[in-house]
Structure 1
Amino acid sequence: MVLFNYILMCLIFGTTFLSIKVGVDAGAPPFFSAGIRFLMAGSILFLWMVSRGKAKFSLLLRKEMLLTGTGLTFATFAALYWSEQYLSSGIAAVLSATGPLMVLLLQSCINRQKLSVSSLVGCLTGFSGVVLLLLPGILGTSFSKLWIIGCIAILLSELFYSAGAVYSSRVIQRFQGISPIALNAAQMMYGGAMLLFLSLFTEKVHMKSILTTSAILSLLYLIIAGSMVAHTIFYWLVAKTNPVFPATWLYISPLIALCLGAVLYHEPITLLSVIGGIIIIIGTIMVNINNLKHLIGRRTKESNL
């Protein structure tokens, strides 16, 4: 059951980037689409947790939910949705995989700790992969400033994601009596509300573009599968295994997204981009090599008992 849910989670997370691209290309305003997605998904999950007695409405009044929602949802997905107007879903997914690298760098700065050799090499490897990934767009004959800005926006958004991730780990410890699913739902609600507020001042929402078949199916998939099912499976896996194992989806899903975008949506892909994407994933694995060794050792020990 654990393996099945893990594979399902990786597949869902790997398809969300293409689903975002489909919705944006259909004409759905990016900030509005993202806001509706997270506000609705967060509200449904939160009400479900309240009905089960695992959360209280007073949780929504805590500033921690606002701050976490700002980093993990608002800043991260505002940039991702906007950028996918100009980037392929595969490139967006691979660039998003730099999040763990930035989490490590931020943690080392906060704790004033020197990076281990494997972590330092992993960071350098990962960011060299970013350079390779960007080279085809920079050197190509159809150079686009918006393409470059989109790439930079996603990389900057991962800085906000890393800040939100580091802060949320402390929030979870602070609210140990509350389910992580409820905490995640609350921050999604705040992030979604902020995205809608941003849309109010920056976008013109036309009902015709929102009510197209592609836009509706994209939104429903992202709400139900991307934000509710996948995240619930993630926290279920955390409870059944440990925090490290479920997070390894970050090594698999970006490559799934890259392949799906090329095969199903005919997105342009170059050999250099593929190599850059693989190098980014390798760098991310190297950064987390100690945690992965601990996980493998623990699983081996458990299987021998």
Structure 2
Amino acid sequence: MANYDEAMSAAISFPSPPARHAPRLILALLACYFVWGSTYLAIRLALVSFPPFFQMGTRFLTAGILLMAWVRIRGHKLPGLREWRNAAVIGTLMLGGGMGLVASAEVHIGSGLIATFIAVVPIMVSALGAVLGQRPRRMEFLGMALGLAGVLMLVQGASFAAAPVGLACIAGATSLWSLGSVLSTTRLPLASGPAGFASEMLCGGAVLMAISLALGEHHQALSHWPAQPTAVMAWLYLVVFGSLIAFSAYLYLLANASPAVATSYAFVNPLIAIFLGAFFAGEHVTGGEWTACGVILTGVFLIFRGKSATDARK
């Protein structure tokens, strides 16, 4: 999951990229499409040896340390005290609650359906923005209504109906991630660039590890030691590709592509996650759940079109 509201506003002022940027843009898009789309399966595979909050905590702490070290080596400005405070709040919401609950949900529900449920984050962000005084346009409102209808259809399916705990986890994850997204672009901004992402990952990782310790997950992790090779490879994939490479690609898209291009992965990730989950993990998706996925993604598309139309008039 990424900061959709930031993506829709941060790239507005950039002109169309020159042709020489095209190869890099394609590589960045492929990273966001396929890497982020595949992280849901990687989370599921890593759960064999790494409990949910322990997995996410070690993942983001490791990635945060590596990214902050890169920031120091490059001589970039480090976050100030207020920015660290903001990172603590945003990291707690988006990573501590959001990603921790996503991993917990995958204990009960297929990774592809979870990715589809997470696609409603732009809908929730728009709804929270409306509460904070950002009145949505007609097309955005229609997208929110359609997305809500799709979610109601999705949770009626057999996969969610059979796992109420998983449904509660993913609903909490999307709510906390959406709230963190809105706050990070309105009242609690992070430090700019990689330093901001690194501080968020460090703070969020620390919160995740505290929750893991409170839940006693370290006993579960020790009982599965040594970790299975597949789980270790999945964890490493999440650190290197999911948390470092894909985030870097996302930052590049924000600076060099239009908002529609930068956020287009929101339509692609669920489809990739569903196919990977079905092919590699034997996850089953019913016809009704496929229909619900289509309704949700159509709602997200309408919201993006509405936001693009609004920004074009500014």
TM-score of the alignment, normalized to the shorter chain, above 0.5: yes
Query: Does residue 243 of structure 2 align to residue 227 of structure 1?
Result: yes
Partner Cα distance (1:240, 1:91) in 2? 31
- Asked if the contact 1:244–1:291 (Cα under 8 Å) also holds between the matched residues in 2, the reply is no
Q: How does 1:96-175 map to 2 (within 5 A)?
A: 96-111=118-133, 113-137=134-158, 144=162, 147-170=163-186
Give the aligned partner of residue 45 of structure 2.
Answer: 22
- Asked if the contact 1:20–1:218 (Cα under 8 Å) also holds between the matched residues in 2, the reply is yes
- Asked if the contact 2:79–2:199 (Cα under 8 Å) also holds between the matched residues in 1, the reply is no
Give the aligned partner of residue 211 of structure 2.
Answer: 198
Give the aligned partner of residue 180 of structure 1.
Answer: 193
Partner Cα distance (2:159, 2:240) in 1? 37
Give the aligned partner of residue 202 of structure 2.
Answer: 189
SS at match of 1:223: helix
| Cα deviations by residue, 1:118-170 (Å, 9 ceiling, x for unpaired) | 1121111111111221222279xxx53xx122123212221111111112124
- TM-score normalised by the chain length of structure 1: 0.87
Query: Does residue 22 of structure 2 align to residue 9 of structure 1?
Result: no
- Asked if the contact 1:133–1:277 (Cα under 8 Å) also holds between the matched residues in 2, the reply is yes
| Cα deviations by residue, 1:177-232 (Å, 9 ceiling, x for unpaired) | x5422101110111111101111110223335252112111110000000000001
Q: Which runs of 5+ in 2 are unaligned?
A: 1-22
Aligned partner (choices 87, 103, 125) of residue 109 of structure 2: 87
SS at match of 1:205: helix
Q: Which runs of 5+ in 1 are unaligned?
A: 299-305
Label 1:149 to 1:208 Cα distance change in 2 as closer, same or farther (>3 A): closer
- Asked if the contact 1:132–1:273 (Cα under 8 Å) also holds between the matched residues in 2, the reply is yes
Label 1:222 to 1:59 Cα distance change in 2 as closer, same or farther (>3 A): farther
Give the aligned partner of residue 62 of structure 1.
Answer: 84
- Asked if the contact 2:109–2:159 (Cα under 8 Å) also holds between the matched residues in 1, the reply is no
Query: Does residue 263 of structure 2 align to residue 241 of structure 1?
Result: no
Farther-moved stretch of structure 1 (72-81 vs 163-172): 163-172
Partner Cα distance (1:275, 1:235) in 2? 32
SS at match of 2:291: helix
- TM-score normalised by the chain length of structure 2: 0.85
Partner Cα distance (1:68, 1:243) in 2? 22
Q: 1:180 is matched by which residue type in structure 2?
A: G
- How many residues are aligned here? 287
SS at match of 1:206: helix
Q: How does 1:243-282 map to 2 (within 5 A)?
A: 243-282=259-298
Partner Cα distance (1:214, 1:126) in 2? 35
SS at match of 1:19: helix
- Asked if the contact 1:138–1:148 (Cα under 8 Å) also holds between the matched residues in 2, the reply is no
Partner Cα distance (2:132, 2:309) in 1? 25
- Asked if the contact 1:10–1:253 (Cα under 8 Å) also holds between the matched residues in 2, the reply is yes
Partner Cα distance (1:60, 1:208) in 2? 40
- Asked if the contact 1:59–1:186 (Cα under 8 Å) also holds between the matched residues in 2, the reply is no
Identical-pair percentage: 26
